[in-house]
Amino acid sequence: MVDFELTDEQKAICKTVHEFALNEMRPVALECDKEGKLPEDLVKKAAAMGLTALAVPEEYDGGGMDQLTSAMATEELFWGCAGIATSLGANNLAITPILIAGNEEQKKKYLPRLCDPENPKFAAFGLTEPGAGSDAASISTTVTEEGDYYVLNGQKCFITNGGIADFYTIFATFDKSKKYGGIAGFIVERSYEGVSIGKKEDKMGIRASNTTEVILDNVKVPKENYMVPMGQGFYVVMQTLDLTRAGVAAASIGVARAAFEEALKYAKERVQFGKPIMAQQAISFMLADMAMKIEAGRRLYQYAGWKASKGLPCSLESSYAKAFCSDVCVEVTINAVQVHGGYGYMKEYLVEKLMRDAKIMQIYEGTSQIQRLVIAGNLMGVTDAYPWN
């Protein structure tokens, strides 16, 4: 029997996170977007509530949420402000490889850093490079072994939290000719000699989040920070993305929901031709489609998150959710601007920001095209669509 009932704990968590998003994030969202800043006081409040590291287990001082509950909390955070929420959510992406492949000493040393309410730290996931985006197996950052250290050289780009991270989970290759087989993973501290921050990106959306280049110039990494052995790095990256894509799908629904609510409110208030524009079928049908697709997307991400929480294979379901929800997010935010007419194009209205925020959902953590590639690859072995196998 399929059970769609949330637990009392999940309901309470979502309510608490929504109140935080409403009272702490929404009031500063437009200002943070305009100035491209992440407010420190808000981050401390988030850390005190366990929102800077939703997936960190309780034994390491984290929120201890499973993937489903974490995804639902993420929907609320992105409803509040996608830029701020992106920096908070990037912590989960960065530490997932440690949770998958790190040893106990690494977990004890690094995970609690993200959870200190007095001095919360950020982490960053270091995979993407100028010449290796969707083709992750083509990374060029090199690693060589020298005595008690591994030495890293290379350049990472589009790294969320790159300029503010305390540490990075960096993926590099021992031998580029081996493609997938040469990749390994390391925990690299910002304080290590040779780590520097390159260009800070001036983004279209999610502007409150910090996105930079991270440059590694003969960086000596102690052997105890060797996280993922050569040959396993690529597969840990794929596992990481399988587990976190439900969160991106949930983020998409959070932004879409915010846009829908703004459009619905406006359509009930805006009078044209002697009646609220909500009474016009052209507008009411747009809003009906928004509501329908948001609800469908929520069910997709919840199913992917449920499978991940149960330790079940979820690559296909995560790709379904990520592709569908990110497409819904873009469509809904564009239509929310359309409902507002000329006012929607103005920066004083929230829907303008939401439309700019939405586009990244189709790009980061695997583009919509890559999700369809994953789905199509899974279909290669399918002979029928009977759902009860």
What architecture is the 123-231 domain classified under in CATH?
Beta Barrel (2.40)
The one-letter amino acid code at 290 reads M
Taking residues 318-323, what's their average pLDDT? 97
Positions of CATH 1.10.540.10 in the chain: 8-121
Decide if pLDDT at 385 tops 90: no
Decide if pLDDT at 384 tops 80: no
The one-letter amino acid code at 220 reads K
* pLDDT band (50, 70, 90) for residue 388: low
Taking the C-alpha atoms of residue 223 and residue 146, their distance in angstroms, rounded to an integer, is 10
What pLDDT is attached to residue 389?
Answer: 54
Does residue 365 have an active-site annotation?
yes
Which segment of 111-120, 290-299, 361-370 scores lowest on mean pLDDT? 111-120
Taking residues 206-230, what's their average pLDDT? 97
For every residue of 237-259, which 3-state class applies, written as one string?
A: HHHHHHHHHHHHHHHHHHHHHHH
What pLDDT is attached to residue 166?
Answer: 97
The one-letter amino acid code at 21 reads A
Q: In the chain, what percentage of residues exceed pLDDT 70?
A: 98
* pLDDT band (50, 70, 90) for residue 5: confident
Active-site residue, from 24, 317, 352, 365: 365
Taking the C-alpha atoms of residue 303 and residue 307, their distance in angstroms, rounded to an integer, is 6
Query: What is the C-alpha radius of gyration for the chain, rounded to an integer number of angstroms?
Result: 21
Contact 212, 201 (CB under 8 A): yes
Decide if pLDDT at 116 tops 60: yes
Positions of CATH 2.40.110.10 in the chain: 123-231
Taking the C-alpha atoms of residue 199 and residue 202, their distance in angstroms, rounded to an integer, is 9
Decide if pLDDT at 30 tops 90: yes
What pLDDT is attached to residue 1?
Answer: 39
Pull the structure tokens for residue 236. Answer: 């840990």
* pLDDT band (50, 70, 90) for residue 113: very high
Decide if pLDDT at 291 tops 60: yes
CATH number of the domain at 234-379, please?
1.20.140.10
Taking the C-alpha atoms of residue 49 and residue 44, their distance in angstroms, rounded to an integer, is 9
Decide if pLDDT at 327 tops 90: yes
* pLDDT band (50, 70, 90) for residue 2: low
Decide if pLDDT at 67 tops 60: yes
Mean pLDDT of the chain: 95
What pLDDT is attached to residue 297?
Answer: 98
Which segment of 79-88, 139-148, 378-387 scores lowest on mean pLDDT? 378-387
Taking residues 182-209, what's their average pLDDT? 98
Q: Which CATH superfamily is domain 8-121 in?
A: Acyl-CoA dehydrogenase/oxidase, N-terminal domain (1.10.540.10)
More confident residue, 383 or 157: 157
Positions of CATH 1.20.140.10 in the chain: 234-379
DSSP tag of 21: I
